[in-house]
Amino acid sequence: MGDLRGRLGHWGDMPVSNDIPVQDTPPIRLVEFVPLIAALISLGALGIDTMLPALPDIARRLGVDAIVDGPLILTVFVVGLGIGQLIHGPLTDRFGRRPVLIAGLLGYIVCNLLAGLANGFALLLAMRFISGLAVAASRVVTIAVIRDCFSGRAMAQVTSLAFMVFMAVPIVAPSIGQAILLLGSWRLIFEMIAAAALLCLVWFVLRMPETLRPENRAPLSIRSTVSGWRHTLRDRYSLGYMIAALICQGAIFGYLSSIQPIMEHVFHRPGLLGMVFAASAGTMAVANLLNSRIVIHLGMRRISQVALVVMIVSSGTGLAVGSFGDEPLLVFVVVQAITMACFGLATSNMSAMAMENMGEIAGIASSVQGFFGITLGGVIGWAIGRSFNGTTAPMHLGFLIAGVAGLGIAAIVERGRLFRPS
C-alpha cells in the first residue's frame, strides 16, 4: 500500500499521520493526480465563471432582459449540473469511472460548440442545460476516484489540494471571459470551454486508469440505486453535512448571480469585475492550501465549524456596513475575501465528512449529495440573485444565513459536541 507521507511528499513536506486508513494508492503520482482531478472538477466552474462578464452582451444580442433573463444562462446550467449527477452516479458504480467520464466530456464538448452557434435564447438555454447534464460526470467521477484511493483525513487533505488547484479557475475565468469579449464575440467563450474540455479528455484518457475494482462494481438496477440513495440519506453524517454544504453552496451561487450587477450598479466599476472576483476566489485557494496542511492535526470538524463562525461574523459585518450607508468597495472586497476563505475551509471538510461512510457506494453517494447541493444550492443562489435591490445586502444576508444554518446543522449532527478535533 505504501506510506501516505511518501506519496504526499511529492507535493511538499506536509505533515501526515501514518495511522490514517487509506484504501489504496493513487494510480498515478500525486503531483499529476491532483492537477488532473482539479482540472476535471474545474470544467463545471469554467462553464459558469467565464459567462459572468458576457451575460449583458448575450442578453442584448439575443433580445432578452439582462437583469431578469441573464441569470437564467447560469441557472439552467447549474440545474442540469445537479440533475445529471443522479444519472452519472449509478452508471459510474456499475460501468466504472472511465467510460462515464469520457461520455460526459464528449457531450459537454458538443453542447458548448452548439451553444456557440445558437441564434435564439431558448436554444442557448437548452444547450446550457444539456451541457450541465453532461459535465456533471466530471464531479461525480472525480469525487468517486478520490474516495476510491483515500479515506478519512487523507481524503480531506487530497480534496483540499485538488480544490486549491481548482480555485485557479474562478480566479482567472471572469478575466478570460472579458479578454475574449475584447477579442471577439461571446460565442468564442463557448468554443474556448469546448477546447478546454477536449484537453482534459485527452489527458484523462492517456493517463488515468480505472480506479473502481471489478469486485466493487454495483449492479445497475432501480432497486440497488434506490437502496444507495436511501443509505446516503439515512446516514446522519452524510445527510447532515450534505445539507450544511448545500446551504453554503447556495450562498456562493448567490454571489455568482449578484456580483456582476453589484459591480455595475452599486460600485459603478464593471471593469473591475475580474479583479474583485479574483481577490475573493484567491482566498479560497489559500484556504484550501492551508486546510491541506492543518487538517491532519486539527481535524475536519473543528476547522469547518470555526470557519462557519468566522463566516457569520464577516458576512454580518458586511451587512451592517452596507446598512449604515454607502459601502466602500475596499470594505466589500475584504469582507468577501474573508467570507470566501471561510467557505473554502468549511465546505471542503464538510464534503469529506459527508462521504466518510460512503465507501462502497461512492458514486451513488456523491451523485445524491451533488444533486441536492448543486440543484437546491442553485435555486437558493437564483433567489438571492433575484433579490438584488441595488445594494449588497441580499448577498451578505445569504452568507450570514448560510453560516448560521450550517453551524446549527453541525450541532445537530454532532449532538451538540462542536469544535472537537476528530
Burial of residue 149, with CB atoms counted within 10 A of its CB: 0-12 exposed, 13-18 middle, 19 or more buried: buried
Amino acid at 151: S
Q: What is the pLDDT along the chain (422 residues), one digit of tens a residue?
A: 343 444 344 333 333 333 333 444 778 888 899 889 989 988 988 998 898 888 888 988 898 877 667 778 888 998 898 889 888 888 888 899 999 999 999 999 999 999 999 999 999 999 999 999 999 999 889 888 887 888 766 777 777 777 766 666 767 788 888 889 988 899 999 999 999 999 999 999 999 999 888 887 877 778 877 888 888 888 898 999 999 998 998 898 888 888 888 998 889 988 888 788 888 778 887 887 788 788 878 888 999 999 999 999 999 999 999 877 788 999 999 999 999 999 988 988 898 888 877 766 766 787 788 788 878 887 888 788 888 888 899 999 999 999 999 999 999 999 888 887 66
Domain 28-413 has CATH 1.20.1250.20: yes
pTM: 0.73
Amino acid at 69: D
Cα 324 from Cα 201, distance rounded (Å): 50
CB neighbours of residue 132 within 10 Å: 28
Find, among 237, 244, 256, 269, the residue nearest to 340 by Cα.
256
Domain spans of the chain, in order of start: 28-413
CA angle, corner 215, sides to 210 and 218, nearest 5? 85
Check residue 295 and give its pLDDT: 81
R_g of the chain, CA atoms, integer Å: 20
> What does residue 240 show for φ and ψ, rounded to 5 degrees?
-65, -50
Amino acid at 202: V
Check residue 74 and give its pLDDT: 85
Cα 264 from Cα 171, distance rounded (Å): 19
Contacts (Cβ under 8 Å, ≥6 apart) of 187:
116, 117
Burial 225-263 (b: 16+ CB within 10 A, else e): beebbebbeebebbbbbbbbbbbbbbbbbbbbbbbbbbb
